[in-house]
Structure 1
Amino acid sequence: MHRPSLAEAEVADELAAVRPRLAPRYAAALPGARAAVLSRLWRGLAHEPLPWIAGREPDGDGLTLRLADGRRLRGPRADPYRTDAYVEVVRLGEVAYDDPARLMTDLAVPHSASFADELAHSAASLALSRAGRQDHPDEWPGTDWEWEQRVVDGHPFHPNCRSRPGFSVAEQLAYGPEHGARVELALVPVPAAECLVAGDWPAWLRDGGRVLVPVHPWQVAHVLEGSEPRGGDGGRVTAHPLMALRTLALPDGPHVKTALSARLTSSVRDISLGSVAASAVLSDFGEAVAARTDGLLRVTRTLGAVAAGSPDLAAVLRESPREYAGRGERVVPVAALATTPLPRSPVWSARFARLALTVGLGLLELGVALEAHGQNLLVVLSPDGDPVRLVYRDLADLRVGPARLARHRVPLPELPARMVTDDERVLRRKLFGSLVAGALAGTTGSGPALRAALETAVRDLPRTPDLAALVGEPLPAKALTLMRLSPRTPGDQWADLPNPLRGGGF
């Protein structure tokens, strides 16, 4: 019988106190949550360049990993693009493991203890999310945030798909989009002279000579000690959390990105002073390059941004993607496509892949590499459910190539230095890793289905060096497990995944 991890037991105890009616559903969800996290972990172990794995030996339907210390770890063949929970047990020597945290603990490799804690928290939080999921009728949501709140399992490939360290059970239930939360954002007043403001910060978020900064209640409770919201009824605003958790939709208004400086899947996020300063210029640049896609891509504009002297007290207002839906159309985050009542066929997947690659490769040729994963990328569906164009949000993680821009006579604005590079490998990794190994793989759900969609999609695309690299080279993906086991290594690390198009004659 499985012994619950400390994280599972702690969540169960807290849940019994704050939401006892969910306790049976939580207990029932734990085995599936462990399998979901173990499947994501096994993908990383099977395909990422982990220094303590000496070799990988396919064997029928199985795969054996030879560890540098002589031990052997065996599990099923690992499809790097498969998104269901298909790994229930792996064996380290003669011992079977159905718990990703216990497996990582007993592997005893550098930094495995802290990662094991994260995996245990990810499985427990995922079970909590599944226990509290809302029942959705087979119909289209009426609001943009309802699409986002249908995404229960989080990142389709990250072992920390639902890890929320620092959040109590009560806070997860109160702030998690999958729980249908409504969040009361505090409006923290700061003298305007002490703020960096970019764009058009609206009048309703000003109070005389003070700027009102929307702040997530978790941030108020855990980070901004001593900062109090403005008194009276105007001191808070209700918003609906989106997939990113720290970004929320205001009713009938824009989206607000808050400086929720908690670490979720991989890293602690904030809103840097540099990103606030560059936000208006970057928004204009994104809109200008999107205009070169013949209407196939729209970019949500940044309306205004503010930082009150610190990344811990900042916010960004952004257009809602629903602004780009025509009559009868719907704008759906790619990560939420699996929750739609749309009967997606191989033909639909191929159409979507062709649209996404046409836009992504076209912009890459210009010199702009999108971070087009399933959270940033949205698809506009016709009334009949066909993919007709894309919407992209959150420009902060673009990579921009000056030499390519110059070839196409596109002016390079003054952007943060981290965004600017002529390294073609960096540019291609950014797009291919997020769009193909991320959004498209997550939508199709397996290597064979991804191959079928890509084979059809690439046939009529312009034969550029970027397309040749996409078709002929290993497919890059962020090495998410390696990154969690390398806490002292800054920046992204990468894995080369088997390319589903290799050998396809394209």
Structure 2
Amino acid sequence: MHRPPTAAEAEVAEELAVVRPALVARFTAELPGARAAVLTRLWRALTHEPLPWVARRDGGLLRLADGRRLRGPVPDPYATGAYVTAVDLDGVPQDDPERLMAALGVPHGAAFARELGHSAASLALSRANQEPPGERWPDSVWEWERRVVDGHPFHPGCRARPDFSVAEQLAYAPEHGPLVELGLLPVRPEACLLAGDWPEELRDGGRVLVPVHPWQAAHVLKPSGDGALAGVLPARPLMSLRTLAPCGGDGGGPHVKTALSARLTSSVRDISVPSVTGAVALSEFGQRVAERADGLLHVTRTLGAATDGTRDLAAVLRESPRAYARPGEHVVPVAALPTTGLPDSPGWLAEFARLALTAGLRLLELGVALEAHGQNLLVVLGPSGAPLRLVYRDLADIRVSPARLARHGLDADGLPARVRTDDVTALRRKLFGSLVAGALAGTAGSGTALRTALESAVPDLPPGPDLAALRQEPLPTKALTLMRLSPGVPGDQWTTLPNPLA
């Protein structure tokens, strides 16, 4: 039966026919799988998040508050891929996430439905523009990050980029492998806030050259500083899209985090003035804490940060994770591990879980809860593929317990107030939700594989109250769909998943 495209699918197809007509057929062929991938993520949310219009859940049967029934497969909240191809809403089959969300008719659902349509269409575009990865492992971090084609493994908006045209996705998104020319915008020193050491190659006489993403330059910035660009910096986009690896600098040279005020996945990100002024203090704190991790984990340093005093023009220079690799070793973002085939081995997966949990719990005991999801957390692999140690980047969303730090002779002086908390629930949510329900679950690919790995790894971990909570309590995770349907509620919202170890 012919299925008419959604508005987002038709829009992408129309633009693609103009800018890359050779991809139209492949894009069309990828649409069913992309819809199923997004629908699977949405079904996970519908069956596990505290959505106020879901009155009762019984396995794969949801009773809605208005009396309707929604049926689907018995959910595995840790499964990745696309195991949900359709659900049944009061006798009507639904195989498209956008149309399902629109049919539910819930508050704020119309806007979220459009995001889901963009997510499926953009995912089909991302998949259509891929070639088989080949047997050779990449030598650079950006090539590894290009392999993460499907985006967030559990977020229904895994590829939602509604602020990007098709041409801009092809030109700037990491999975398409583009070369991006960052503009270098000169700012007079008296109009620029600097933190750390700003390199000479990003200065022009007395002016500071701030790297600007071309999307930001085209859509957001008005002429500032001296107006015209003072040059360009060719770079490769990383998984976050707004952070890039300058060409020739991925052997340990700095990465550049740019201001990019576009909606990506689910939120509009920026670089605030406090995050610039506090960047060095947070980085130095990270180095002090990493020294207590017994060599299991390194934290990339922030080298410098600059802003003109607004959220629209700012940049942060950060060490490349490659700085922590030795000859013959690979530094792989955890989100890219499934592309290596290594997690297919239960023994390897257990070894990786043991390393990640040992490091994460060690820092949590010290008083630092990392947001160790598949983008922020990288693993150093030996020549044989063995997981040796971890690298963590981007400290902006960690949580820090001053009380725990004090017990270990550390302090939180100079850290922003928003990262400080002694609330044990908040600390454990941050680590367990990102590392176990996020990075490890996404690497394992199913609840069965995750349980097997955890059962093997946990007995070797040092005992303590945090480990006891991990073993016995429901597993926290961000309620990502609830957050998208609650535009007036600031901050993270949470739910719990069945504990794989229970």
The interval holding the TM-score normalised by the smaller chain is over 0.9
Structure-to-structure mapping, 1:207-286, within 5 angstroms: 207-227=204-224, 235-251=231-247, 252=249, 253-286=253-286
Q: Deviation at 1:229? A: 8.3
Equivalent-residue separation in structure 1 for 2:483 and 2:371 (angstroms): 18
In 1, are the aligned partners of 2:432 and 2:476 still within 8 Å (CA)? yes
Match of residue 384 from structure 1: 384
AA paired with 1:177?
A: P
Q: Is the aligned partner of 1:319 residue 2:335?
A: no
Q: Is the aligned partner of 1:492 residue 2:488?
A: no
- Normalising to structure 1: TM-score of the pair? 0.97
Equivalent-residue separation in structure 2 for 1:230 and 1:180 (angstroms): 30
Equivalent-residue separation in structure 2 for 1:344 and 1:82 (angstroms): 14
Match of residue 157 from structure 2: 160
Unaligned ranges ≥5, structure 2: none
1:142-169 deviation digits (Å, cap 9, x = unpaired)? 2111000111000000000000011000
Match of residue 180 from structure 1: 177
1:219-240 deviation digits (Å, cap 9, x = unpaired)? 00000033488758x5111000
Equivalent-residue separation in structure 2 for 1:496 and 1:296 (angstroms): 28
- Normalising to structure 2: TM-score of the pair? 0.97
AA paired with 1:241?
A: P
Equivalent-residue separation in structure 2 for 1:79 and 1:242 (angstroms): 30
AA paired with 1:33?
A: A
In 2, are the aligned partners of 1:369 and 1:430 still within 8 Å (CA)? yes
Q: Deviation at 1:340? A: 1.9
Q: What SS does structure 1 have at the residue aligned with 2:57? A: strand
1:187-211 deviation digits (Å, cap 9, x = unpaired)? 1111111111000010011111211
Q: Deviation at 1:415? A: 1.0
In 2, are the aligned partners of 1:138 and 1:341 still within 8 Å (CA)? no
Equivalent-residue separation in structure 1 for 2:223 and 2:189 (angstroms): 19
Q: Deviation at 1:2? A: 1.6
Q: Deviation at 1:105? A: 0.3
In 2, are the aligned partners of 1:134 and 1:178 still within 8 Å (CA)? no
Equivalent-residue separation in structure 2 for 1:3 and 1:228 (angstroms): 49
Q: What SS does structure 2 have at the residue aligned with 1:312? A: coil
Match of residue 148 from structure 1: 145
Unaligned ranges ≥5, structure 1: none
Equivalent-residue separation in structure 2 for 1:230 and 1:346 (angstroms): 56
In 1, are the aligned partners of 2:187 and 2:225 still within 8 Å (CA)? no
Identity %: 70
Q: What SS does structure 2 have at the residue aligned with 1:257? A: strand
Equivalent-residue separation in structure 2 for 1:471 and 1:143 (angstroms): 37
Q: Deviation at 1:413? A: 2.2
Equivalent-residue separation in structure 2 for 1:175 and 1:377 (angstroms): 22
Q: What SS does structure 2 have at the residue aligned with 1:238? A: strand
1:367-398 deviation digits (Å, cap 9, x = unpaired)? 00000000000000011100010000001111
Structure-to-structure mapping, 1:89-488, within 5 angstroms: 89-227=86-224, 235-251=231-247, 252=249, 253-340=253-340, 342=342, 344-488=344-488
Q: What SS does structure 2 have at the residue aligned with 1:153? A: coil
Q: Deviation at 1:460? A: 1.5
Equivalent-residue separation in structure 1 for 2:246 and 2:214 (angstroms): 15
Q: Deviation at 1:21? A: 0.2
In 2, are the aligned partners of 1:187 and 1:229 still within 8 Å (CA)? no
1:277-333 deviation digits (Å, cap 9, x = unpaired)? 111111111011011111110111001001111011000000000010012111000
AA paired with 2:260?
A: L
Q: What SS does structure 2 have at the residue aligned with 1:152? A: coil
In 2, are the aligned partners of 1:254 and 1:318 still within 8 Å (CA)? yes
1:322-374 deviation digits (Å, cap 9, x = unpaired)? 01001211100000011125474100000000000000000000000000000
Equivalent-residue separation in structure 2 for 1:147 and 1:484 (angstroms): 29
Q: What SS does structure 2 have at the residue aligned with 1:454? A: helix
Q: What SS does structure 1 have at the residue aligned with 2:308? A: strand
In 2, are the aligned partners of 1:186 and 1:235 still within 8 Å (CA)? yes
Q: What SS does structure 1 have at the residue aligned with 2:463? A: coil
In 1, are the aligned partners of 2:160 and 2:266 still within 8 Å (CA)? no
Q: What SS does structure 1 have at the residue aligned with 2:77? A: coil
Task: Name whichever of 456-465 and 114-123 sits farther off.
Answer: 456-465
Equivalent-residue separation in structure 1 for 2:455 and 2:342 (angstroms): 22
In 2, are the aligned partners of 1:134 and 1:180 still within 8 Å (CA)? no
Equivalent-residue separation in structure 2 for 1:267 and 1:140 (angstroms): 32
Equivalent-residue separation in structure 2 for 1:355 and 1:131 (angstroms): 35
In 2, are the aligned partners of 1:187 and 1:230 still within 8 Å (CA)? no
Equivalent-residue separation in structure 2 for 1:95 and 1:80 (angstroms): 24
Q: Is the aligned partner of 1:69 residue 2:70?
A: no
Q: What SS does structure 2 have at the residue aligned with 1:293? A: coil
1:83-111 deviation digits (Å, cap 9, x = unpaired)? 01000000000100100000000100000
In 2, are the aligned partners of 1:134 and 1:179 still within 8 Å (CA)? no
AA paired with 2:372?
A: A
Equivalent-residue separation in structure 1 for 2:232 and 2:382 (angstroms): 37
AA paired with 1:463?
A: P
Q: Deviation at 1:500? A: 0.4
In 1, are the aligned partners of 2:246 and 2:255 still within 8 Å (CA)? yes
In 2, are the aligned partners of 1:330 and 1:380 still within 8 Å (CA)? yes
Equivalent-residue separation in structure 1 for 2:294 and 2:261 (angstroms): 38
Match of residue 45 from structure 1: 46
In 1, are the aligned partners of 2:71 and 2:89 still within 8 Å (CA)? yes
Equivalent-residue separation in structure 1 for 2:369 and 2:397 (angstroms): 9
Equivalent-residue separation in structure 2 for 1:309 and 1:480 (angstroms): 31
Q: Deviation at 1:175? A: 0.3
| RMSD (Å), alpha carbons | 1.2
In 2, are the aligned partners of 1:139 and 1:341 still within 8 Å (CA)? no
Task: Name whichever of 340-349 and 98-107 sits farther off.
Answer: 340-349
Q: What SS does structure 1 have at the residue aligned with 2:441? A: helix
Q: Deviation at 1:76? A: 0.2
AA paired with 1:140?
A: W
Task: Name whichever of 80-89 and 129-138 sits farther off.
Answer: 129-138
Change (3 A) 1:208 1:228: closer
Q: Deviation at 1:411? A: 2.0
Change (3 A) 1:430 1:343: closer
Match of residue 19 from structure 2: 18
In 1, are the aligned partners of 2:342 and 2:348 still within 8 Å (CA)? no
AA paired with 1:336?
A: A
AA paired with 1:124?
A: A
